[in-house]
Amino acid sequence: MQLKRGKTRAKVLEKAATGREREEYVLRLYVTGLTPKSTLAINNVRKLCEQHLAGRYELRVIDIYQQPKLAKGEQIIATPTLIRKLPLPLRKLIGDMSDTERFLVGLDLKPRHS
């Protein structure tokens, strides 16, 4: 990446991060009924979305017992699974989303540690 005169790498990265901060997120959470793990995942995702994506997300919770065709179409192999449909690229996270760091990195809301 070639930088224009006067722009530092930090400013370029800050601008890129600001663009990500305005994007709308389309999320799908696949669960298996109202099991304790499913309920925990639903609560965790809602809480984290409100904290980090307030007003910029659409979350749909899908029970694979009630809508198995949707789960098959998304190739869900474990639950709970959170899919980030937008912004691209598509991302999948498996688990109850209790690890905030993993959630943020998985949705590209925070950079990975090297």
CATH number of residue 79's parent domain? 3.40.30.10
Is the model more confident about 88 or about 14?
A: 88
The predicted pLDDT at position 13 comes to 43
For 63, the token pair is 């029970």
DSSP 29: E
Average the pLDDT over 76-86 and give the result. Answer: 97
Does position 31 have pLDDT exceeding 80, yes or no?
A: yes
Residue 50 lies in a domain: yes
Q: 99 lies in a domain? A: yes
- Please compute the mean of the pLDDT values over residues 43-47 and round it to a whole number: 98
CB distance 97 to 105 below 8 Å: no
Domain membership of residue 15 (yes or no) is no
Q: Is residue 8 part of a domain?
A: no
Structural domains counted in the chain: 1
Q: Does some domain include residue 30?
A: yes
The answer to whether 108 and 20 are in contact (CB under 8 A) is: yes
Mean pLDDT value across residues 13-42: 83
Q: Where residue 88 falls among pLDDT bands split at 50, 70, 90?
A: very high
Q: What is the residue range of 37's domain?
A: 24-106
Q: What is the pTM of this model?
A: 0.80
Is the pLDDT confidence value at 47 over 90?
yes
| Residue 35: inside a domain | yes
pLDDT of 6 over the 80 cut: no
Residue 112 lies in a domain: no
Helix (H, G, I), strand (E, B) or coil at 91: strand
